[in-house]
């Protein structure tokens, strides 16, 4: 079974590469920007025609949430048009698609875990374009798995956990938002879940939610980072109104993972346990 990973140089692509190596899964092709640019339909078709994959995992996305407000056209080209291009190529070459989406497709105005059928109403350009990408895929390719995730971090790329560790070395005090609630997700865990789905060869296509178990605020996550790393930093909880950003973020975007757990038998770790594992890896590579 051959799998192509698009956006392979990013955080999640790097995690898939690591987990695949640990599992001795060798039939993965990690596409580069040169041979797997999702904005180039002809290039994508050439790649899939040559490799003939059973699955394509699309990790490519525009993810700079605040910058997207100023680069709306580029964000939409990547998150909507790019997703559409990948779906068309998969359709033409009989491949199933695993596409990564986001909790930001929700408004975040309800205080209960959101399931896959709850109404979507994104409030920023990033979320809007990711939802447009979901819609494009669903209309073009029945053989799709759309996985919404949240608050990704890992030992790879740029992310909140690594930012906190960097700031913790230089500062004695930080203010962190405490009234945005979600579920942190270790991208290594998500990578494992994606490979579980492809290895299952399941035809249970559709939208799924995946994040680590448990609930946290950004303040909670930062506090855990500094507790685990034994950094004596003073943290001050902030309200969203005290830390204004260009993009509006969901106040509550905890997702219900019952569907992915029951469909694929996936066991999801608690967020703080996974954070500790990531911190161990970061300490090793420091």
What are the catalytic residues? 126
Strand 28-30 and strand 3-6: pairing? parallel
Give the gyration radius of the chain's Cα atoms: 18
Q: Residue holding tokens 């500062």?
A: 171
Virtual torsion, Cα 281, 157, 13, 120, nearest 10 deg: 110
- Distance between CA 195 and CA 16 in Å, rounded? 8
Structure tokens at 62: 């525009």
Give the DSSP H or E segment for 192: helix 187-200
Answer for the pair 85, 126: CB distance below 8 angstroms, yes or no: no
For 26, 40, 41, 269, the CA distances from 34, given in Å and listed in that order, are 21, 10, 13, 36
């Amino acid at each position: 079974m051959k799998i192509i990973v698009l956006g392979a140089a990013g955080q999640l692509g790097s995690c898939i590469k690591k987990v695949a190596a640990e599992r001795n899964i060798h039939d993965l092709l990690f596409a580069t920007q040169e041979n797997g640019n999702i904005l180039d339909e002809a290039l994508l078709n050439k790649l899939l025609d040559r490799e003939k994959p059973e699955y394509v995992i699309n990790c490519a996305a525009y993810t700079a949430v605040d910058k997207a407000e100023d680069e709306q056209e580029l964000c939409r080209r990547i998150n909507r048009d790019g997703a559409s291009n990948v779906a068309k190529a998969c359709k033409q070459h009989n491949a199933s698609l695993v596409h990564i989406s986001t909790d930001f497709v929700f408004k975040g105005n309800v205080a209960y875990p959101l399931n896959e059928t709850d109404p979507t109403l994104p409030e920023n350009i990033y979320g809007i374009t990711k939802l447009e990408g979901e819609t494009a895929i669903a209309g073009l390719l029945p053989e799709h798995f759309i996985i919404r995730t949240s608050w990704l971090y890992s030992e790879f790329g740029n992310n909140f956990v690594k930012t906190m560790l960097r700031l913790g070395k230089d500062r004695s005090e930080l203010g962190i938002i405490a009234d945005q609630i979600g579920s942190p997700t270790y991208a290594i865990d998500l990578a494992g879940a994606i490979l579980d789905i492809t290895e299952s060869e399941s035809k249970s296509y559709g939208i799924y939610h995946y994040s680590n178990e448990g609930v946290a605020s950004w303040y909670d996550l930062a506090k855990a980072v500094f507790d685990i790393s034994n950094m004596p930093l003073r943290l001050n909880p902030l309200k969203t109104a005290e830390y204004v950003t260009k993009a509006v973020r969901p106040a509550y975007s905890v997702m219900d993972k019952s569907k992915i757990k029951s469909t694929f038998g996936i066991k999801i770790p608690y967020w703080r346990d996974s954070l500790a594992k990531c911190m161990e890896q970061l300490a090793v590579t420091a």
